[in-house]
Each structure stands twice: as C-alpha cells, then as structure tokens.
C-alpha cells in the first residue's frame, strides 16, 4: 500500500493543511490515509466527492484537508445535512463523512440511524478514538469497560454500545444499513482500504468503523504513556478478525454486513416517486 505518497497528497489534499494539526503519533492520520487511498484505487477525482465532517478531532483535523468541496456540520448533525444534500446532488456524486465516535454514536446516533433507515447513499467513516478526545478525554459510547478517562476516574462501568456483548454494528444493521465494516488500521490497513472502496461503491448507506489510538488523552490517562508504540500494542492485542475473536478481543474486524446494492437508495426512491406523481398524479 502506498502510504501518503506525494502524488496522493497532490491529487487529493490541500497542501496548506499538511501536516495536519492532529497530535504527533495520533492514529487518525493512518485512517485518513486509508480513505484517500481508497479514492485513488477507485479512480475517483476530487470532483466526484463531497467531503463532510463534524466537530471533534476527526472532523476538525480532516475538514478542508480534502481538496474538493467540503462541509462541516455542527456536532452530530452531518448525517441529517448529508441526507438533504443527497436529495439535491446528482446520484454520481459521492458523499463521504469523516466523523468521530461521539459524533456518530452519541449526539448524532438518531440522525445516523435514520440515514441507515432510508438507505441514503452516504459513506460514513467513524474515526473512533474511544471517547471525547478533543474536549480533553472523556468516555464515550464505545469506551471499553474498565478504562480510565477524565470522566470515568474509577474505570468505565456504565453500559455502552460496545459492552455486554452489544455492538453498534448490530444496531446499524437492524436500522437498514447496507454495508458495514470495522477495521483497526494498524492491524489490517490493506483490508480497510478494500472495505472503504466497497462502502463507496455501495449505492446506499455504508459505515466503516475505524477505532484508532489517541496518544494525547486516551493513552496518557489509561496507560500513563503517550509513547505511540505502547497504545498501538494495546490496540493490537484487543483486535482480531471476525470469527477469530479471543476472550480479550474488543474489536472484531472485517466486513460485518454486505448487502450492497440490494435496497433501493433514498434519493432514487424520492425522485422516482416525485417523477411518477408529477406525471400521473399518483404512485
């Protein structure tokens, strides 16, 4: 895999924003790279893609980095904006959202589920740094049990979307998402690129969940060290491919659900109905 080669940068990124303002050692850059690599391998041009983000590290560090058109919504709302935009854009334009876990699975979960419900053609990349990191490191809805954060000083004990056998992927599948995958890039980066490509090619709602290390807050608080190799090791030990999970596995990686192009897509449904009603007065 080509890692941030200069031609990837020149083709897809605004050089003014490189290097990004993310902390050095942060795993976000690796995730970002996977997404850009997928664009490249699909032969997409910047003109083919609208890059949407929200706030938080995932949003702020990648907004305006992508060279093409881009928007950033307020916290948790990019999914509703993207759904409206989907109606207005020609179907061949891709909408890719680069968001955080708090954004997608906390404040924005309802909008996310409704986007899956209607199978809107949006690719959501959730850069999961296991909590609210740009606000200094509070727990979120994917923070592993027992983990100490600034707002779980005794260790994480409140049930969340990744505890007691629950998995946020089940919720999204039940809501109607047509492509779901999870990858921990430092363990399976090449597969992550393949999944992002599949996600983009699915004409419907796709989400790729990519947990990544946060050195500054998460690692510092939980492991007492911001040395990247330590948190990288901690991550790797808790990651396993789907079907090969070990007792301590938190992140089962791979394709969780691939029903690509099996459900009618949202904007097609809406415009199809509009067209028929306009012509015949009924559905």
Ligand X SMILES: Cc1ncc(C[n+]2csc(CCOP(=O)(O)OP(=O)(O)O)c2C)c(N)n1
Residues of this chain that interact with another protein (CB under 8 A) are 16-17, 46-47, 50, 53, 55, 60, 63-64, 67-74, 77, 80-90, 93, 110-111, 114, 270-271, 273-275, 277-278, 281
By three-state DSSP, how is residue 51 classified?
Answer: strand
Q: Is 220 exposed, middle or buried (0-12, 13-18, 19+ CB in 10 A)?
A: middle
Distance (Å, whole) CA 93 – CA 28: 25
Judged by CB, which is closer to another protein: 13, or 219?
13
Give 184 or 255: the residue with its C-beta nearer to ligand SF4. 184
Q: Are 65 and 14 in contact (CB under 8 A)?
A: yes
**Contact pattern from residue 60 through residue 79 relative to ligand X, giving x for each residue in contact according to CB under 6 A and a dash for the rest:** ---------------x----
Q: What part of residues 10-49 is at the interface with ligand SF4 (CB under 6 A)?
A: 22-23, 26, 28
Tell me which residue of 140, 129, 153, 160 sits closest to 30, measured CA to CA: 129
Q: For 17, which DSSP code?
A: G
58 binds ligand X (CB under 6 A): yes
Q: Which does 100 bind (CB under 5 to 8 A by kind): ligand X, ligand SF4, another protein, none?
A: ligand X
User: Are 20 and 64 spatial neighbours (Cβ–Cβ below 8 Å)?
Assistant: no
Site membership for ligand SF4, residue 220 (CB under 6 A): no
Please, which residues have CB within 8 angstroms of residue 244's CB and are 6 or more apart in sequence? none
Q: What residues make contact with ligand SF4 under the rule CB under 6 A?
A: 22-23, 26, 28, 57, 61, 129, 133-134, 214-217
């Amino acid at each position: 895999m080509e890692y941030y080669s200069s031609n990837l940068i020149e083709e897809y990124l605004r050089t003014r924003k490189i290097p990004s303002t993310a902390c050095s050692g942060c795993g976000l850059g690796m995730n970002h790279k996977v997404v850009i690599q997928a664009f490249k391998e699909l032969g997409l041009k910047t003109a083919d893609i609208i890059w949407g983000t929200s706030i938080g590290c995932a949003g702020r560090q990648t907004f305006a980095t992508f060279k093409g058109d881009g928007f950033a919504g307020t916290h948790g709302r990019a999914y509703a904006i993207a759904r409206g935009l989907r109606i207005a854009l020609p179907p061949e334009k891709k909408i890719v959202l680069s968001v955080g876990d708090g954004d997608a699975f906390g404040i924005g979960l309802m909008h996310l589920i409704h986007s899956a419900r209607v199978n809107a053609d949006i690719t959501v990349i959730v850069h999961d740094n296991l909590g609210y990191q740009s606000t200094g490191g509070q727990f979120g809805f994917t923070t592993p049990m027992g983990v100490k954060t600034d707002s779980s000083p005794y260790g994480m004990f409140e049930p969340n979307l990744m505890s007691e056998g629950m998995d946020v992927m089940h919720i999204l599948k039940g809501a109607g998402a047509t492509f779901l995958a999870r990858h921990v890039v430092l363990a399976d980066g090449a597969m992550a690129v393949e999944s992002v490509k599949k996600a983009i090619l699915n004409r419907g709602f796709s989400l790729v969940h990519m947990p990544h290390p946060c050195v500054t807050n998460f690692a510092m608080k939980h492991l007492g060290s911001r040395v990247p190799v330590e948190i990288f090791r901690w991550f790797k030990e808790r990651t396993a491919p789907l079907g090969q999970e070990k007792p301590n596995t938190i992140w089962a990686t791979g394709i969780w659900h691939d029903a690509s192009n099996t459900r009618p897509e949202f904007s097609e449904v809406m415009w199809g109905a509009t067209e028929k009603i306009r012509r015949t007065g009924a559905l």
